[in-house]
């Protein structure tokens, strides 16, 4: 369940980061009156930079239309006809961390003569990128630790079951029951314990995710394959725990 | 034909304690043998080597076509089906009736239900306890429990019946009755190898006697000879 919770947090962090990265761009605001022809050389230089996905010349008029689409016309009433300068909009590749690419481009191009001002992405995006990376490492790390712990718990559970049934196991061995006849019920029990635990964890995660969706409708749900994997993984490690217990505690 | 051969077998435990030292004997099909010796003489160790619960440190044990030097772990259940074992403490399952205890030995070896029903009835009749089929172990006397244990040991038609101090927890009358039962079983062709420290038992019928003392076979008296 803890693993599933971490997985959801990581998934949502990465989704938020991804959508932020799509919206985020560098905007080099150009000096008044600069035209596309003036910016051609500047644009060409930017297009050759590593980490740059696309470079677009945004006219003053386009900037004004975009503003109205997002915020409405009211804010512009009373202002000069078009307060927006032309700009060169740089979208960054999602494969790179934004911090590196932004710093590099800002340092290199903010002092170009055609550039009046530079608008860089919000710090939040940088922090999210870092958090997303940390969350992924934690998810994987926790996952390994918890699977290990679950296996130990199931090994102990089966060990107790073996101890509890010591008398009947001894009789079975005495009268010639085959190894598989003796072992199969314990393996089955381990798999069942593991799968049931996985199923319960899935149910809790699913319930919490659905409940969270009322507050955060954009919450990203775990893919169905992950749900199935949680149950199957539980069963598999349950079986592994049983086998370890049988090898260690069931003498033949 | 020998169904059991113990060849120069030695078994030690820990540092310096030799439970058995160069023990050598064989048992023929249908033979009845007493194994006598005081407590700690090595009788139980010898029986555990015959059931391959343990392996000798040197020498070999060959029983019912299996050999301690070559037998694989997965073959041990097959050997155990050819050997019936009876213990001093009966070792019946408390939560099962007499019927179920005997049937258990047949179920775990994959016998069909119809056969189990028939065989269990036969065995209960043989030991004279059909009227106690639905009784639980705590409802049976010591002698009755041991007879159920014998019935279970015979469930899979073993070639050899091993008995480790089977009369140890019984009163004299139950002891006599149990011994009679073992003699009957032997008369029907099953070899019997009975470990006991009760020399009075041996006097009841002149059978072959092996004598163990401090892990060494000190005597092998043939059937009919005086002890």
Give tens-digit pLDDT for A70-121.
Answer: 777 777 777 767 788 888 988 877 544 556 667 777 788 888 888 888 877 6
For residue range B161-188, what is the model confidence (pLDDT) as tens digits? Answer: 999 999 988 998 999 899 999 999 999 9
pLDDT of residue A23: 56
Q: What share of chain A has pLDDT > 70, as a percent? A: 78
Q: Looking at the domain assignment, is residue A9 inside a domain?
A: no
pLDDT at B135: 96
CA distance linking residue B55 with residue B45, whole number of Å:
10
Angle in degrees, 0-180, between the axes of helices A2-23 and A179-215, rounded to the nearest 10? 40
CB neighbour list of residue B95: distance below 8 Å, 6 or more residues apart? B136
Q: Examine the domain organization and report whether A87 and A169 are in the same domain.
A: no
B155 and A CB contact within 8 Å: yes
Q: What order do you get walking across the sheet with B216-221 strand by strand?
A: B83-87, B160-164, B191-196, B32-36, B208-213, B216-221
The verdict on residue A154 lying in a domain is: yes
Q: How many Å apart are CA B68 and CA B55, to the nearest integer?
A: 6
For B21, residues 6+ apart whose C-beta sits below 8 A from its C-beta are B10, B215, B216
Chain B neighbors of A252, CB-CB under 8 A? 73, 76
pLDDT band at A14 (very low <50, low <70, confident <90, very high): low
- Locate the chain B residue with the closest alpha carbon to A178: B77
- B76 vs A: CB within 8 A: yes
Are A147 and A114 within one domain? no
Whether A75 is in a domain gets the answer yes
Q: Measure A182 CA to nearest chain B CA, in Å.
A: 9
Q: Are residues A165 and A88 in the same domain?
A: no
Assign domain B31-54+79-221 to its CATH architecture.
Answer: 3-Layer(aba) Sandwich (3.40)
Q: Give the per-residue pLDDT at A250.
A: 67
| Nearest-by-Cβ selection for A252 from B76, B81, B91 | B76
Question: How is residue B134 written in tokens?
Answer: 């639905």
In the predicted model, is pLDDT for residue B45 greater than 50? yes
Give start and end residues of each alpha helix (H) in chain B: 43-50, 76-80, 98-107, 113-126, 142-153, 172-187, 199-204
Alpha carbon distance A149, B215 (integer Å):
48
Whole-model pTM: value is: 0.67
Q: Which residues pair with B221 in a beta bridge?
A: B209
**ipTM at complex level:** 0.82
Q: Where are the domains of chain B?
A: 31-54+79-221
Using a CB–CB cutoff of 8 Å, tell me whether B55 touches chain A: no
Residue B36 at interface with chain A, using a CB cutoff of 8 Å:
no
Of the partner residues B73, B74, B156, the one whose CB lies closest to the CB of residue A175? B156
In terms of Cα–Cα distance, which of A87, A95, A98 is closest to A123?
A: A98
Same domain for A39 and A71, yes or no, is: yes
Looking at the fold, whether A142 and A245 belong to one and the same domain comes out as: yes
**A181 contacts B74? CB cut-off 8 A:** no
- Over 80: is that where the pLDDT of A214 sits? no
For B88-131, the pLDDT digits (tens) are: 999 999 999 999 999 999 998 889 999 999 999 999 999 999 99
* Cβ atoms within 10 Å, residue A18: 13
B53, B83, B108: best to mutate for the A interface, most A CBs within 10 A: B108
Show the domain range for A169. 138-249
Instruction: Please list every residue in chain A whose beta carbon sits closer than 8 Å to the beta carbon of residue B108.
Output: 172, 175-177, 181
Say if residue A245 is in the same domain as residue A164.
yes
Mean pLDDT of chain A: 77
- Measured between alpha carbons, how far is residue B121 from residues B95, B115, B183 in Å? 20, 10, 21
Q: What's the pLDDT score for residue B227?
A: 44
- DSSP, collapsed to helix, strand or coil, labels residue B156 as coil
Tokens coding A40 = 């051609």
Residues in chain B with CB shorter than 8 Å from the CB of A177 are 77, 108-109
Q: How many structural domains comprise chain A?
A: 2
- Return the pLDDT at A126: 59
Q: Which of A121, A149, A171 is the last residue of a domain?
A: A121
Q: Which residue has the tokens 């040991």?
A: B153
Check if B105 contacts A (Cβ < 8 Å): yes
Q: Do B108 and A167 touch (CB under 8 A)?
A: no
What pLDDT sits at residue B63?
A: 94
For B34, the enclosing helix (H) or strand (E) is strand B32-36
Residue A129 lies in a domain: no
Q: Which residues contact A218 (CB under 8 A, 6 or more apart)?
A: none
Residues in A whose CB is inside 8 Å of some CB of B read 167-168, 170-179, 181, 252
Of A168, A170, A176, the CB nearest to B77: A176
Decide if pLDDT at A124 tops 70. no
Could you tell me if A243 and A190 lie in one domain?
yes
Tell me, yes or no, whether A127 lies in a domain.
no
CB–CB contact A181 B81 (8 Å) = no
Across the interface, of B77, B91, B105, the residue whose CB is closest to A179 is B77
Q: How far apart are CA B7 and CA B217, in angstroms?
A: 12
Which of A172, A176, A252 shows the shortest C-beta gap to B78?
A176
Residue that terminates a domain, selected from A88, A121, A154: A121
Packing angle between helix A166-175 and helix B98-107, nearest 10 degrees? 60
Q: Do A174 and B91 touch (CB under 8 A)?
A: yes
Which backbone phi and psi does B73 adopt, to 5 degrees? -55, -40
Q: Please tell me the predicted confidence (pLDDT) of residue A133.
A: 67
CA distance A216 to A212: 6
Q: What is the mean pLDDT of chain B?
A: 91
| Residue A63 contacts residue A86 (beta carbons within 8 Å) | yes
């Amino acid at each position: 369940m803890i693993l599933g919770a971490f997985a959801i947090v990581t998934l949502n962090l990465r989704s938020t980061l991804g959508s932020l990265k799509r919206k985020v761009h560098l905007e080099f605001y150009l000096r008044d009156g600069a035209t596309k022809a003036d910016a051609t050389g500047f644009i060409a230089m930017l297009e050759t930079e590593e980490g740059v996905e696309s470079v677009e010349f945004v006219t003053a008029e386009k900037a004004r239309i975009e503003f109205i689409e997002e915020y409405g016309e009211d804010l512009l009433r009373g202002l000069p006809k078009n307060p927006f300068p032309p700009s060169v909009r740089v979208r960054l590749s999602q494969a790179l961390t934004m911090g590196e690419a932004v710093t590099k481009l800002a340092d290199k191009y903010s002092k170009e003569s055609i550039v009046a001002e530079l608008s860089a992405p919000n710090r939040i995006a940088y922090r999210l990128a870092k958090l997303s990376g940390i969350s992924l490492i934690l998810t994987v790390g926790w996952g390994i630790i918890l699977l290990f712990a679950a296996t130990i718990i199931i090994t102990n559970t089966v060990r107790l079951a073996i101890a509890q049934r010591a008398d009947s196991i001894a009789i079975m061995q005495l009268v010639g029951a085959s190894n598989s006849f003796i072992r199969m019920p314990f393996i089955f029990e381990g798999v069942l314990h593991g799968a049931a635990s996985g199923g319960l964890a899935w149910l809790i995660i699913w319930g919490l995710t659905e409940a969270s969706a009322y507050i955060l409708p954009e919450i990203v749900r775990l893919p169905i394959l992950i749900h199935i994997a949680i149950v199957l993984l539980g069963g598999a490690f349950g079986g592994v725990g049983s086998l370890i217990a049988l090898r260690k505690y069931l003498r033949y | 034909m020998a169904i059991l051969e113990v060849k120069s077998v030695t078994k030690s435990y820990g540092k310096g304690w030799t439970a058995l030292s160069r023990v050598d004997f064989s048992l023929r099909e249908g033979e009845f043998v007493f194994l006598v010796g005081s407590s700690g003489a090595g009788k139980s160790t010898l029986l555990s080597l015959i059931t391959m619960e343990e392996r000798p440190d040197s020498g070999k044990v060959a029983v019912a076509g299996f050999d301690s030097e070559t037998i694989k772990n997965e073959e041990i259940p097959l050997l155990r089906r050819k050997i019936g074992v009876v213990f001093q403490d009966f070792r019946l399952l408390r939560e099962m009736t007499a019927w179920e205890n005997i049937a258990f030995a047949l179920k775990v070896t994959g016998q069909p239900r119809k056969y189990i029903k028939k065989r269990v009835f036969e065995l209960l009749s043989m030991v004279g306890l059909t009227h106690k089929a639905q009784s639980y172990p705590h409802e049976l006397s010591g002698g009755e429990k041991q007879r159920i244990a014998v019935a279970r040991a015979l469930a899979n038609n073993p070639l050899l019946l091993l008995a480790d101090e089977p009369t140890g927890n019984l009163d004299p009358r139950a002891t006599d009755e149990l011994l009679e039962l073992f003699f009957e079983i032997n008369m029907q062709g099953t070899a019997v190898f009975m470990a006991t420290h009760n020399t009075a038992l041996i006097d009841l019928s002149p059978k072959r006697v092996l004598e163990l003392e401090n892990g060494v076979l000190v005597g092998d008296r043939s059937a009919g000879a005086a002890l």
